[in-house]
Amino acid sequence: MTKKVLVVDDDPDVRLFSTAVIEENGFNPIEAENGEEGMQLLKLEKPDLVILDVLMPRESGVRMFRQIKTNPKFAKIPVIILSGITKKSFLRSQKALTEFGGAEVPEPENYLEKPVEPEELAAAIKSALS
Amino acid sequence: MPVITISRQFGSGGRTLGQKLAGALGYTFADQDIVQKIAELAKVSPGWVESVEKEAGGRFQRIVSKMVSKPLVDRILKDERGYIDEQIYIDYLVVLIAQIAEEDNVVILGRGSQYILNDMPEAYHILLIDNFENRVRFIMEKYDKTEKEAANVVKVEDRRRFNLYKKIGKQDYDKPELYHLVINMARVSLDQAHDLIVKLIKQPSPVTSI
């Protein structure tokens, strides 16, 4: 069965780019515009991988990432963060949210800073799904 | 490449000092820009973000978060298709402050930045304190308020500060241990405070362990 990859990003161009890379590499893409939609799709579709932006309206990738990694049902789904926010800033923000009373969460399986080359994204997807 | 965070008891001159420092050092002053950026991200008005900040843990937030659903908010605010509540605000805030700090040479005013950046070696955390009467006087002079109006503003802002920190589980925000430098503005002028901070950040080897 073809593996499903959920792309969560508010930028339609990034979703187009990511879904094209996913399809070219033989996987099945699913799209969401924000973390709220992303969580709904995650529950419905049970994807094998999530590619997640950090700053989005309504519900950010920060929140969705924490929801994934703190729920035993979803915690094993690998997450690739694809964002204009640096990895250092993302990790610092996660640490702060833990210090502010949130649960401790692991680092994402991979972190790619925008802009990213198709080959780089493809390699990250294959690695996460292998 | 230092980052300066300024936490303050409202009316102790934090915004004025932050602007003065940023101007003198050629740094960026991050205050209202943070509100603006959060508003853009959440696709709401800056006024809504400010309401979340001001009413943290308060009545407005309870109404928006619990009594009004997101779809209903969308229908009411047809041109404003976003949504924000305290949790979303905090999620954006921690990322933005971390990212602003990465860019170096910045003065960040409040908003929990002393906690978010507490392990950042190049960050200097400053706390300004002052007694209530002086803070009221400062607001009267700075913003042309009557004594009664200024006292009310200071009380409201003190409560807002308490509520905001309560929301993130913090009550030790006035503890000296969190900061590199605590300045009592009742005994130190704005110029002296400015010079103390400049002197501190010019030190080649900051003490960073907290």
Residues B181-210 have pLDDT tens digits of 999 999 999 999 999 999 999 875 655 555
Contact B99 A59 (CB under 8 A): no
Chain B interface, best mutation among A10, A55, A105, by max B CB count within 10 A: A55
CB contact under 8 A, A90 and B95: yes
Residue B75 scores a pLDDT above 80: no
Q: Which residue has the higher pLDDT, B104 or A38?
A: A38
Compare all CA atoms of chain B with the CA of A61 and give the residue at the minimum distance: B91
Residues on chain B touching A36 (C-beta within 8 angstroms): 70
Residues of A in contact with B70 (CB under 8 A): 36, 58
Q: Please indicate whether, in this complex, the C-beta atoms of A89 and B102 are within 8 angstroms of each other.
A: yes
Specify the pLDDT at position A14: 96
Lowest pLDDT segment from A113-127, B45-59, B104-118, B138-152:
B45-59
For residue B101, the chain A residue with the least C-alpha distance is A89
Candidate from A71-85, B50-64, B193-207 with smallest mean pLDDT: B50-64
- DSSP letters, B73-94, are HHHHSTT------HHHHHHHHH
Q: For chain B, percent helix, then strand, then coil, each to nearest 5?
A: 55, 10, 35
Contacts of B112 in chain A (CB under 8 A): 96, 100
Contacts of A56 in chain B (CB under 8 A): 41
Task: Give CA–CA dist B143/A130, Å, rounded.
Answer: 62
In whole numbers, what is the pLDDT of chain A averaged over residues? 96
Place of tokens 């949504």: B83
Average pLDDT of the segment spanning B125-149: 94
The answer, yes or no, to whether residue B68 has pLDDT greater than 50, is: no
The residue ranges of every structural domain in chain B are 3-201
Q: Which residues of A touch B88 (CB under 8 A)?
A: 58-60, 63
Q: What's the confidence (pLDDT) of residue A24?
A: 97
Give the pLDDT score at B209. Answer: 55
Chain B residues near any Cβ of chain A (below 8 Å): 41-43, 70, 81-83, 87-88, 90-92, 94-95, 97-99, 101-102, 112, 115-117, 119-120, 168-170
Q: Which CATH class is domain A4-129?
A: alpha beta
Q: In whole angstroms, what is the distance from residue B112 CA to residue B115 CA?
A: 5
Subunit contact B88:A95, Cβ cutoff 8 A: no
Short-list B183, B178, B196, CA closest to B14: B183
CB-closest option in B87, B95, B170 to A55: B95
| Rounded average pLDDT over B132-145 | 93
Q: Which CATH class is domain B3-201?
A: alpha beta
- Range from A57-71, B5-19, B34-48, B73-87 carrying the lowest mean pLDDT: B73-87
The yes-or-no verdict on residue B70 having pLDDT over 90 is no
Tens of pLDDT, residue by residue over B94-104, are 999 999 999 87
- Asked if B81 and B43 touch (Cβ cutoff 8 Å), the reply is yes
| CA atoms of A2 and A30, how far apart (whole Å) | 12
Sheet arrangement for strand B123-129 = B28-30, B106-109, B3-8, B123-129, B181-184
Is pLDDT above 80 for B159?
yes
Phi-psi label, residue B56: left if phi above 0, alpha if psi -120 to 50, beta otherwise: beta
Q: Give the residue extent of every domain in chain A.
A: 4-129
The pLDDT score that the predictor gives to residue A25 is 97
> pLDDT at position B81, please?
67
Cross-chain CB nearest to B168 (options A58, A93, A101): A101
Return the pLDDT at B67.
45
Percent of chain B with pLDDT over 70: 84
- The average pLDDT across B169-192 equals 95
B110-122: pLDDT as tens digits: 999 999 999 999 9
Q: Which residues pair with B183 in a beta bridge?
A: B128
| pLDDT value at A9 more than 90 | yes
Inter-chain CB proximity B83 and A58 less than 8 Å: yes
Answer yes or no: is pLDDT of B3 > 50. Answer: yes
Residue A96, SS3? Answer: helix
